[in-house]
Chain A
Amino acid sequence: MSRRKGQQATRGSEAGPRGGTGAPVYATTDEVVEQPSTGLHAAPAEEHRLEAREDVRPTDDAADADEDGPDVEPTPSPALPAASPRELRGLMKDWRRGRATRNLGQALSDAYVAVIAALMLGAMTVNVIIKAQRVVADCSSASCLSARALLPWAAVLAAVATALAVARLFGPVLASAAEGFWLLDAPVSRSKLLRSRLVAALVGALVGGAVIGGLISLLTGSGGPESAVWAVATGLSASAAVAASAAQQGRERHRLSRAASFVFGLLGVVALLGVVGVAADWFTLRLSTTLGTEIGAVVAGLAVVLLLGGTVLAASRLSSIRRTRLVSGGSLVKGISGAFFALDIGLARDIVVQRRTMEVGHVTPRRGHGEGLQALTWREWQRLRRFPQPLVAWAGTIVVPYASEALGLSAVTPVFGALALFGATVPMLNGLRVLTRTGGLARCLPFSMAQIKLAVVTAPAILAAVWAVAVGPAFAGVAGGAAGRTFGEASLMAVATAAAGLLAAIRWTQAKGVDFSKPMVSTQAGALPPGLVTNLFRGFDVCLLATAPMLLGFSPLWSLAIEAITAIVLFNSFDAESMQAKQKEAQRQMDLQKRERESQAAMARQRKR
């Protein structure tokens, strides 16, 4: 081999794909081209790696070539045809296979665990369905049957709204950052590359929707064929929604899918309210209870038409989706999945909030009001006015205590109410979240942390008070249920329930991420960082703890007392971290005093001598 040839081979391998198929696609010498090159030739990956190592090993000859200069004229490179998307995918598949880190035994062991887990979950689900069907078998009154007939509709509407919202958030067609950099820049047909992504999104929505629709239908006592039809109808509707969203993605428009998501969500809530209202005999609704299968089939038929139309449109627009849009969806998935792996739900929510605000991008600035802490509180109201969606959810939760009482579940109404308000209040605490997740912004404000927290939760606290007033009649038995409560007791229960929901949301929002640098805790499930699992129950614990006295039939005053203590703890940040810091500080002071005493004693001894 000539010196020049050796040098070219080295350079080519370095520039080629890492550790993969070794020889470069743009090789310039005959010797290099002769080597088994890309993974497209289906040679074993390990063999390729070894060859690649041989190629990259610098030789003395190659090193000398730089000093001596070339003694062979470079030959013009033969033009190789560009790889097709299929070939590129095949190449990546080949690399991945070559880097398998598990042997057959380990793979079989994993598969065994997965099958057992699926069987256990399946058995639990079937058990729940059978029990639910036994319970609803008693449902024979006209109002109960009408309410049951409404539920599959609510499921379809909710599935479509969710599919639209999730599709808009992630893409629905997306690509990872690596794919965006390495593949989408290549001179290949982007639509061919992305077609499988579109199909995956559609199939995912179809399966997810079908599972939800089928489960709800089965749980409400529908027969097998009717449940199957509603499962298919819900799945196809969700898939059609994703197809429509993908078609919009190709045109960089989202207004229609956003509006559709809102309308379907609203209709879903109305359907749910209808279910509660009809079941509680607040009003009557004449729905056919015998034509469920036929109606489901019509819904499925309509969804198929929409799905086909949407898919054709989306497929024809795949090539016009911008790379940034594709990659941002991929990075969002990566971020959220990372947060979920760390069981940090707060971080996952932060990522989604950040993404949504980035979509908005620009707002009309509004002048603040007041000064000091008043300015902070005022901004919270402005924030709610700017993004009022949480208020809609908050208003929707008012119906929960009424529904619970109407359905005869008086004993657990405080728990349901508190959990509902907890979920609705979290989105209103974005300000608290930012001020507590890092100390940077709070440090800019001339107030103590307790004052800051009080200022930013004033708006949600006022809304919680309004909520308590609004749900008071439910506890007093207006919607049926326990009519034996006095007005005073009902009012106290409403206040205690609202306070539980608010405090739970504050606790959830203030949750710090898991600190993986701390010593692990030994558990039966293996070593876990402290706080990993407890973080999952943050907020829910306050809900249950604060409502437990009411659940057990004690006076709501006990709940209020527990809530007062919880509030003191939450607002003064007596969390584990600051307690540890204070303990450390006290220890440091004691050490200092001890050292002083020792030095004084040493000096006294010296003087004696």
Chain B
Amino acid sequence: MAKRATVLKVSGLRRAFGPNTIFEKFNLEVRAGEAIALTGRNGAGKSTLLRCLVGADRPDDGTIEVCGNPMSETNPQVRRDVATVIDDLDFFPDLSVVEHLDLLARAHGITDPDAQVDEVLEEVQLVPQSGQLPGTLSSGQRRRLALATAFVRPRRLLILDEPEQRLDVEGVGWLSRRLQAERQQGLAIVFASHEPTLVESVATRVVTLGAPRG
């Protein structure tokens, strides 16, 4: 069987806030079709690591490569390859739910944006809210919209920070199935989670960060 291409390569990553070292000498290689779950207690550095991986935070040391390109948030090629759902996602206050998705699909040059948007909207169960402005959505609906922004566009690497947050039980089940399907289609996934069922069903490898409380 042919070896799958490396999508994400992290070497010797280090991040510290003052004297507090969050992680150091962190290495990770993620190939297409692999799903890496980051687990660990609160404050172990999962979100910080993911922020470094998406370019929202700058590591103190080490290198990150996405599909062979050095990680840079400003690099359009990296932006094209990496879909992210972390906490800093913002929405246009005057564009509706469906218009956000339509904009992203068109910006990424999807050939049939309407069909793609309809499919994702149906999947995240936001069809009744399609005309609503983001400010009026509940926290769970905002989370679904955030996830939809990652699924409506082409991607090679999916980075998610606690994607199960604010989702109901049914939502977590859907997310689990969706991520499994994504992985089987050859997508590389790195996600942090506190949800054991999600980790168990999606992850091919589990990386536990930080020492356990003791």
Q: Are A434 and B80 in contact (CB under 8 A)?
A: no
Chain A positions 470-526 with a Cβ under 8 Å from a chain B Cβ:
none
Is A363's beta carbon under 8 Å from chain B?
Answer: yes
**By CB atoms of chain A within 10 A, which of B92, B95, B102 has the most?**
B95
Residue numbers in A under 8 Å from B93 (CB-CB): 353-354, 357, 430, 434
Contact with B along A356-368 (1 / 0, CB 8 A): 0110111111111
Is B206's beta carbon under 8 Å from chain A?
Answer: no
Residue numbers in B under 8 Å from A441 (CB-CB): 89-92
Residue numbers in B under 8 Å from A585 (CB-CB): 58
Chain B positions 159-209 with a Cβ under 8 Å from a chain A Cβ:
none
Q: How many Å lie between the Cα of A365 and that of B134 in the bound state?
A: 13
Is B124's beta carbon under 8 Å from chain A?
Answer: no
Q: In the assembled complex, how far is the CB of residue B162 from the closest CB belonging to chain A, in whole angstroms?
A: 15
**Chain A-chain B contacts (Cβ-Cβ < 8 Å), number:** 127
What residue in chain A is nearest B81 (Cβ atoms)?
A: A446
Q: How many Å lie between the Cα of A431 and that of B94 in the bound state?
A: 9
Q: In the assembled complex, how far is the CB of residue A473 from the closest CB belonging to chain B, in whole angstroms?
A: 34
Residue numbers in B under 8 Å from A73 (CB-CB): none
Q: In the assembled complex, how far is the CB of residue B75 from the closest CB belonging to chain A, in whole angstroms?
A: 8
What residue in chain A is nearest B92 (Cβ atoms)?
A: A434
Q: Are A449 and B74 in contact (CB under 8 A)?
A: yes
Q: Are B60 and A588 in contact (CB under 8 A)?
A: yes
Q: How many Å lie between the Cα of A448 and that of B74 in the bound state?
A: 6
Residue numbers in A under 8 Å from B84 (CB-CB): 440, 443-444
Range for the number of chain B residues in contact with chain A = 35 or more
Q: Are B76 and A439 in contact (CB under 8 A)?
A: no
Q: In the assembled complex, how far is the CB of residue B13 from the closest CB belonging to chain A, in whole angstroms?
A: 13
Q: In the assembled complex, how far is the CB of residue B184 from the closest CB belonging to chain A, in whole angstroms?
A: 24
Q: Are B107 and A371 in contact (CB under 8 A)?
A: yes
Q: Are A387 and B114 in contact (CB under 8 A)?
A: no
Is B68's beta carbon under 8 Å from chain A?
Answer: no
Residue numbers in A under 8 Å from B80 (CB-CB): 446
Q: Are A443 and B56 in contact (CB under 8 A)?
A: yes
Residue numbers in A under 8 Å from B109 (CB-CB): 371-372
Residue numbers in A under 8 Å from B61 (CB-CB): 588, 592
Residue numbers in B under 8 Å from A375 (CB-CB): 103, 106-107
Q: Are A438 and B133 in contact (CB under 8 A)?
A: no
Residue numbers in A under 8 Å from B82 (CB-CB): 443
Q: Are B99 and A365 in contact (CB under 8 A)?
A: yes
Partner of A446, one of B94, B96, B107, B135: B107
Given contacts A443-B84, A446-B76, contact A431 B92 (CB under 8 A): yes
**By CB atoms of chain B within 10 A, which of A375, A443, A448 has the most?**
A443
Contact with A along B40-72 (1 / 0, CB 8 A): 000000000000001110101100000000000
Q: How many Å lie between the Cα of A438 and that of B146 in the bound state?
A: 15
Q: How many Å lie between the Cα of A443 and that of B55 in the bound state?
A: 9
Given contacts A362-B136, A370-B106, contact A443 B73 (CB under 8 A): yes
Partner of B106, one of A368, A447, A581, A592: A368
Residue numbers in B under 8 Å from A434 (CB-CB): 90-93
Residue numbers in A under 8 Å from B114 (CB-CB): 367
Q: In the assembled complex, how far is the CB of residue B69 from the closest CB belonging to chain A, in whole angstroms?
A: 13
Chain A positions 373-429 with a Cβ under 8 Å from a chain B Cβ:
373, 375-376, 379, 382-383, 386-387
Given contacts A375-B106, A431-B92, contact A584 B131 (CB under 8 A): no
Q: How many Å lie between the Cα of A388 and that of B80 in the bound state?
A: 33
Q: Are A362 and B113 in contact (CB under 8 A)?
A: no
Q: Are B136 and A386 in contact (CB under 8 A)?
A: no
Residue numbers in A under 8 Å from B149 (CB-CB): 444
Is A317's beta carbon under 8 Å from chain B?
Answer: no
Q: Are A444 and B83 in contact (CB under 8 A)?
A: yes
Is B132's beta carbon under 8 Å from chain A?
Answer: yes
Q: Are B102 and A368 in contact (CB under 8 A)?
A: yes
Residue numbers in A under 8 Å from B79 (CB-CB): 443-447
Q: In the assembled complex, how far is the CB of residue A433 from the closest CB belonging to chain B, in whole angstroms?
A: 9
Chain B positions 88-132 with a Cβ under 8 Å from a chain A Cβ:
88-96, 98-99, 102-104, 106-110, 113-114, 130-132
Is B153's beta carbon under 8 Å from chain A?
Answer: yes
Chain A positions 138-161 with a Cβ under 8 Å from a chain B Cβ:
none
Q: Are A383 and B86 in contact (CB under 8 A)?
A: no
Residue numbers in B under 8 Å from A254 (CB-CB): none
What residue in chain A is nearest B84 (Cβ atoms)?
A: A443
Q: How many Å lie between the Cα of A430 and that of B96 in the bound state?
A: 14
Given contacts A357-B135, A448-B76, contact A438 B106 (CB under 8 A): no
Q: Are B90 and A358 in contact (CB under 8 A)?
A: no
Residue numbers in B under 8 Å from A379 (CB-CB): 95, 99, 103
**Subset of 22 A-B contacts with CB under 8 Å:** A353-B94, A354-B135, A357-B94, A357-B133, A358-B133, A360-B133, A362-B131, A362-B133, A365-B130, A372-B107, A379-B99, A383-B94, A430-B92, A434-B92, A439-B88, A440-B90, A443-B82, A443-B84, A444-B104, A446-B77, A448-B75, A451-B76
| In the A-B complex, the 9 residue pairs with the closest CB atoms | A375-B106, A446-B80, A440-B89, A440-B88, A358-B135, A357-B93, A368-B102, A438-B90, A365-B98
